[in-house]
Structures are given as C-alpha cells and as structure tokens.
C-alpha cells in the first residue's frame, strides 16, 4: 500500500528555475525509501513537498491516494499524526527553553491526541534508549547524539506510519552515527522510514528502495540491492565511488 506519492512533480522557488523536474516516486508502507543526491540536487525540497510544507508548481502529491491539501484541516490533522519528521541539526531543532517531556509531547498536544501523555513520552524515551529522568531535563544537558534521539522520540510519540528524516546522522561523529543507524533499524520494525541523504552508504544500510536524484531529476530508482550491485547511471556510479563504506548483501 502506498502512503505518499509524488506524480510528475515539478517545483520552482518563486519565479526561479525548476529545482525539481517531473519527479515520480512512491513511499510504500513497510519499505524504507532512501532519497540520495549531492548537495543542491533537491532532496530537502522533496522532503518539504512530502511534508506538505510546500506545494508543487505542477504535478500532484497524494497521501493514501488523496491530494495533500493544507486547507483541509481534518485531513491534515490525520496526515500529521501519520507522518512525522526528524531534521539534520540536533542543536537547532529542539527548543532550548522547553523540558524534554514537553518537546517530546508536542505532537500529541498540537494534534489533540487523547492519550496518557506522560506514559506516551516515557514510552518514546525508552524506545530511543534514554533514561526516564531525561523527561525533566533541558536540551543543553544532552550530547548531539542524545539530542537526535530526543528528536526521534518526538517523531515517533504519535505512532506515525511514516517518519521522514533529513540528513539525520551527518552532524554526528562516526560512533554516534552507528548507534543512530542501529536505533533507526530497530524503529523500522514499527514505522516506515524515508531518509534523505547525500550518503548512499548510510541510506543503503536502512532502506530497501533507493531514488537517485541529480539536479532535480530522478536518474535511477530501484532496490538498494540492485543499485548497489549494478548502478546503471554514471551519476550513481560516481556517488558509489565516493562512499567509503557499503553494506554487504550476502
Ligand atoms: N528558499 C529557496 N529559495 C530559492 N532557491 C532555493 C531555496 N531553497 C533551496 N533552493 C535551491 O533549490 C535547489 C535544491 O535545494 P535543496 O535544498 O532541495 O537541495 P539538497 O539536495 O537538499 O541540498 P543540501 O544537501 O545542500 O541541503 C538548490 O539549487 C538550492 O539553491
């Protein structure tokens, strides 16, 4: 079943040139998707379209087959509960004045989810391996990797079907990165992930399917296994040549 589809989507900022051109992609429930490309290829723009934060200049974005319409409030409420995001920078993405309990609870409060908020927050913190007393502390008391765990706890607290993540490990050192990959791997048992990154090695560790984006166009898409073992497009071959570590497909 398809969660979000982009069909023939093009996008330009204002009257500028197209930064996305005729993009078709589907995110299927239960299959993690990696969207990979160099800086400026349009990855963050795709993510903004997938989140309904920007509207395509032409083409369609649909959630469960229905058009993503920011004016349709009940629909968007259901959408926001089902689709959450984690962003690159764990330092700026958390409000320094809020306690972790309030940061993690934010989606439940803003979506008026009827649930035991303290229990849901404790469950989300446990899922990302943070101790229960983290709830009463502030972001500055945590390391970059721990802050990214807090951002992930906030993204999963409403039990979304899909979590979109933009360069979630790029700001982290290698050891922390490996731990976050392990965490995302365990979370993907209960939610689908769409990961945006310049690092094909990182996304291939977690995603069954890949989309390769060059200058706003998809140049190759398929299973990670096929693309890693026989990349067809020269751009994909270049991305692979510049990545130091690749998963083993035995
Ligand atoms: N607000 C904006 N106004 C005008 N142009 C923009 C804006 N944001 C992005 N762009 C342009 O759109 C293109 C795609 O940018 P985007 O941020 O989607 O790429 P990206 O692949 O995510 O890059 P990076 O990995 O560097 O974040 C780039 O040429 C960028 O300069």
In this prediction the ipTM stands at 0.94
Question: Is residue 198 assigned to a domain?
Answer: yes
What CA–CA distances, in Å, run from 235 to 18, 69, 206, 214? 20, 34, 21, 7
- Counting the structural domains of the chain, the total is 1
Question: Is residue 170 assigned to a domain?
Answer: yes
Tell me which residue has its CA closest to atom 3 in ligand 1: 13
pTM of the model as a whole: 0.91
Q: Are residues 209 and 50 in contact, defined by beta-carbon separation less than 8 angstroms? A: no
What CA–CA distances, in Å, run from 195 to 4, 28, 88? 14, 13, 11
- Cβ 44 under 6 angstroms from ligand 1: yes
Tell me which residue has its CA closest to atom 5 in ligand 1: 13
Tell me which residue has its CA closest to atom 7 in ligand 1: 13
**Which of 19, 167, 213 is the best mutation target for the ligand 1 pocket, counting ligand atoms within 8 Å of the beta carbon and taking the most?**
19
Question: Is residue 246 assigned to a domain?
Answer: no
Tell me which residue has its CA closest to atom 31 in ligand 1: 40
CA 141 to CA 137: how far, in whole Å?
Answer: 7
- Cβ 199 under 6 angstroms from ligand 1: no
**Side by side, which strands form the sheet with 217-223?**
83-86, 162-166, 192-197, 33-37, 209-214, 217-223
Question: Is residue 250 assigned to a domain?
Answer: no
CATH number of the domain within which 32 lies: 3.40.50.300
State which residues form the domain around 170.
2-241
Neighbours of 94 (CB within 10 A): 21
Neighbours of 238 (CB within 10 A): 13
Question: Is residue 248 assigned to a domain?
Answer: no
- Cβ 16 under 6 angstroms from ligand 1: yes
Tell which atom from ligand 1 comes closest to the C-alpha of 198: 25
Q: Which residues of 136-166 are buried (b: 16+ CB within 10 A; e: fewer)?
A: ebebeebeebbbbbbbbbbbbbbbbbbbbbb
One pLDDT digit (tens) per residue for the chain, 250 residues = 799 999 999 999 998 999 999 999 999 999 999 999 999 999 999 999 999 999 999 999 999 999 998 889 889 989 999 999 998 776 777 899 999 999 999 999 998 888 999 999 999 999 998 998 999 999 999 998 899 899 999 999 999 999 999 988 887 788 888 888 888 999 998 999 999 999 998 899 999 999 999 999 999 999 999 999 999 999 999 999 887 665 554 3
Question: Is residue 220 assigned to a domain?
Answer: yes
Question: Is residue 55 assigned to a domain?
Answer: yes
Pairing of strands 58-63, 2-12: antiparallel
Question: Is residue 179 assigned to a domain?
Answer: yes
């Amino acid at each position: 079943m398809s969660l979000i589809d982009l069909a023939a989507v093009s996008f330009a900022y204002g009257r500028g040139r197209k930064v996305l051109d005729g993009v078709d992609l589907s995110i299927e429930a239960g299959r993690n998707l990696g969207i990979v490309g160099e800086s400026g290829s349009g990855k963050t723009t795709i993510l903004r379209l997938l989140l309904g934060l920007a509207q395509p200049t032409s083409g369609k974005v649909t959630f469960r087959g229905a058009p993503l319409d920011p004016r349709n409030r009940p629909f968007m409420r259901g959408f926001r509960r089902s689709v959450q995001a984690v962003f690159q920078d764990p330092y700026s993405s958390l409000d320094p004045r809020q306690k972790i309990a309030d940061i993690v609870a934010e989606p439940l409060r803003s979506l008026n989810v009827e649930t035991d908020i303290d229990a849901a927050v404790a469950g989300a913190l446990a899922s990302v391996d943070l101790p229960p007393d983290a709830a009463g502390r502030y972001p500055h008391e945590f390391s970059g990797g721990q802050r990214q765990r807090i951002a992930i706890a906030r993204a999963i607290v409403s039990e979304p079907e899909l979590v979109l993540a933009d360069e979630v490990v790029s700001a982290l050192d290698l050891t922390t990165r490996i731990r976050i990959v392990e965490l995302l791997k365990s979370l993907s048992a209960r939610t689908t992930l769409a990961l945006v990154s310049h690092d094909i090695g990182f996304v291939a560790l977690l995603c069954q399917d890949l989309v390769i984006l060059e200058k706003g166009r998809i140049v190759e898409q398929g299973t990670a296994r096929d693309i890693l073992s026989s990349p067809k497009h020269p751009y994909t071959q270049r991305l692979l040549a510049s990545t130091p570590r690749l998963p083993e497909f035995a």
